[in-house]
Amino acid sequence: SAREAWQALDMVLRMGVFGLVISEGAPPPSVALRLERFARRSNAAWVVLVRRTGVVPGAALRVQFEWKAPAVEAAGRYRIAVRAVRNGITRSAEFSCDVAFPYRLCDDPGLPDRRARAGCRV
């Protein structure tokens, strides 16, 4: 449950053995303030991943990433827009990068797949 997840995060931050703690989803404001206090005491960076834009209680910094589709002539090369907001000050940057997929996710695995698939000839 969500309550158990926040309790587990509470214990991890109290232990103070991790320099970086990442959680998915923003906790309620009262819980967020307590977790932020534990993160500061243990000198840890607590990162909250959320799908929606908005304000996360107790956030010192908000970072948004936006993937921009590659142009036809530059297939596999993406533009990424990064926007950081802290204390009302916004900084933005864009950069390009090549996206390389791991071997298992490639279109051409290099080895034939010998498993039978429904509706396919082997």
Beta-ladder partners of 68: 79
Which CA distances in Å does 42 have to 9, 20, 46, 117? 13, 10, 10, 52
What percentage of the chain exceeds 70 in pLDDT?
A: 68
Backbone angles phi, psi at 75, to 5 degrees: -60, 135
**8 A C-beta contact, residue 65 and residue 50:** no
Tell me the residue length of the chain. Answer: 122
> Tell me, what's the pLDDT at 61?
76
Return d(Cα 7, Cα 110) in angstroms, integer: 46
**8 A C-beta contact, residue 97 and residue 78:** yes
What would the pLDDT profile of 76-108 be if each residue is shown by its tens digit?
Answer: 677 788 888 877 788 888 888 776 655 555 555
Q: What pTM was estimated for this model as a whole? A: 0.55
